[in-house]
Structure 1
């Protein structure tokens, strides 16, 4: 449990820098997500190959494979809505909106996995909900219900469904599972990106370094730590 908590905390710290790094990349939200999923997915595929985990994919049940594909779809929704929210309401507020997800996960886990509500869980849910309502309520009064706030909440919904789907996946290697998930997400994001009009953008070495960091460290390494933890 100690190692699992360390992995989870490290992943949370890494994910917390996503918006900051993305703000230095002059691409559309769709292009940033596409770059992130492709780089992260191939990075994890290389690790999975080195660990010889491909056999677990062939032995996995059809149900697990279906849940794995669904998790990739939910991941693409989570990131597309989140990065769209970044551009409309800023990194901090969009991140707070997305972190409504854990509350939804605890509620869904009660019905899906029959995990009981405990006093610490309920207390945490109430405190976080009140905090989110205060922060987002102030934003709503200042700017009204905006598309950015809607995107932030939809990213939270997709995040909750993503975690539920991943907990349904069994028998697939610890690195191979998020790798396949990222590649499924990249196909969805690629289809969305190709349907969107984009203007040519000039990238310098700083922009490219941020893209590589977001894809390999914040996505590949971060997702390995998160789901293995």
Structure 2
């Protein structure tokens, strides 16, 4: 029965989509928020892992453990850069640029892994590049400082790190999803601990703490439980479609609650980017089906 997994994935993506709204209400910087998120995910998913008894049957291969650790580094950097982007620009713009990850998978695969770049893939990349120029409002950027301060760099870095997470994680088949995430978020705690400014947590309001705990337990622990519980029961085509619930919810919240009003050029850029991404995903699915 596919109905329950589809509902779980849809709910997970919808909650993911609200993370930008929550982030802005926490009152703490990106690195500190990701640190809390890693702690919550490690405890929550570690408990699920133990209760399900999956830890007893894990197959630990040295190569996969190393891959998982490297994946964890990129996953944590991806979160930090995304939250930094939320601090500097609207959620709509940040989340749109973040969803360029599949395009970066194509580019990195072509450059590093020497995978063949087709004309349609190149067309999708050019389309998304043009969309990025429009969405950032390049005409308003008069210096390199303005460019960096716009948040564009953070959003692009988050997309690149997400792409690296996808590429490196593709070869991990022995470890369960719970084991992978437990290792990755535990790595995040170790990575971020030396850089933590714990004074950022002093003087926070009850509302701040509510959003912080919500981001940790709901957006990380609970959401990843739903995500992993449904992931292996759905086809790649269905997952690719449902993933777009995330940016749709993010953009709706930004426009309806935070009153973000994209300009005509930004709207055009958003449409170009998502058009290129949808085309890329559909094209990849057709290639997979035809090769089977």
Scaled by the length of structure 2, what TM-score is found? 0.66
Instruction: Report the Cα offset of residue 118 of structure 1.
Output: 9.8
* Alpha-carbon distance in structure 2 between the residues aligned to 1:94 and 1:198: 27
Structure 1: stretches of 5+ with no match in the other structure: none
- Alpha-carbon distance between aligned partners in 2 of 1:64 and 1:222, rounded to the nearest angstrom: 24
Q: Distance in 2 between matches of 1:116 and 1:75?
A: 26
Distance, in Å, in 2 between the alignment partners of 1:46 and 1:109 is 36
Moved more, 184-193 or 123-132: 123-132
Q: Tell which deviates more after alignment, 74-83 or 166-175.
A: 166-175
The structure with the larger Rg is: 2
> Counterpart of 1:18?
19
Question: Can you give the 5+ residue segments of structure 2 that lack an aligned partner in the other structure?
Answer: 232-292
Listed one character per residue, the Cα deviations across residues 151-179 of structure 1 (whole Å, up to 9, x for unaligned) are: 11111111100112222222112222212
* Residue number in structure 2 paired with 1:105: 105
Could you say which residue in structure 2 is the equivalent of 1:31? 32
Q: How many residues align?
A: 223
User: Is the 8 Å Cα contact of residues 28 and 198 (structure 1) preserved in structure 2?
Assistant: no
Closer, same or farther in 2 for the Cα pair 1:106/1:56, shift >3 Å?
A: farther
What aligned pairs does 1:1-229 form with structure 2 within 5 A after superposition? 2=2, 7-57=8-58, 59-108=59-108, 112=113, 127-136=127-136, 138=137, 140-143=138-141, 144-147=146-149, 148-193=151-196, 198-199=199-200, 201-227=202-228, 229=231
SS in structure 2 of the partner of residue 175 of structure 1? helix
Q: Deviations over 1:108-162 (max 9, x none)?
A: 456759699696x7776565444333212x1x32134224211111111111001
Which deviates the most, 121-130 or 152-161?
A: 121-130
Bigger mean CA offset, 103-112 vs 78-87: 103-112
Pairwise CA RMSD of aligned residues?
Answer: 3.0
Q: Is the 8 A contact 2:28 2:201 kept in 1?
A: no
Distance in 2 (CA, whole Å) between partners of 1:212 and 1:141 is 39
Instruction: Provide the C-alpha distance between the structure 2 equivalents of 1:125 and 1:190, rounded to a whole number of angstroms.
Output: 37
CA distance in 1, matches of 2:96, 2:158: 11
Q: Report if the CA contact (8 A) 2:78-2:161 is conserved.
A: yes
TM-score, length of structure 1 as denominator length: 0.82
Q: CA deviation at 1:204?
A: 2.7
Name the SS of the counterpart of 2:147 in structure 1: coil
SS in 1 for 2:69: helix
C-alpha separation in 2, matches of 1:218 and 1:208: 14
Q: Deviation at 1:101?
A: 1.1
Give how far 1:28 is off.
1.5
Counterpart secondary structure, 1:169: coil
Maintained 8 Å contact 2:12/2:224 = yes
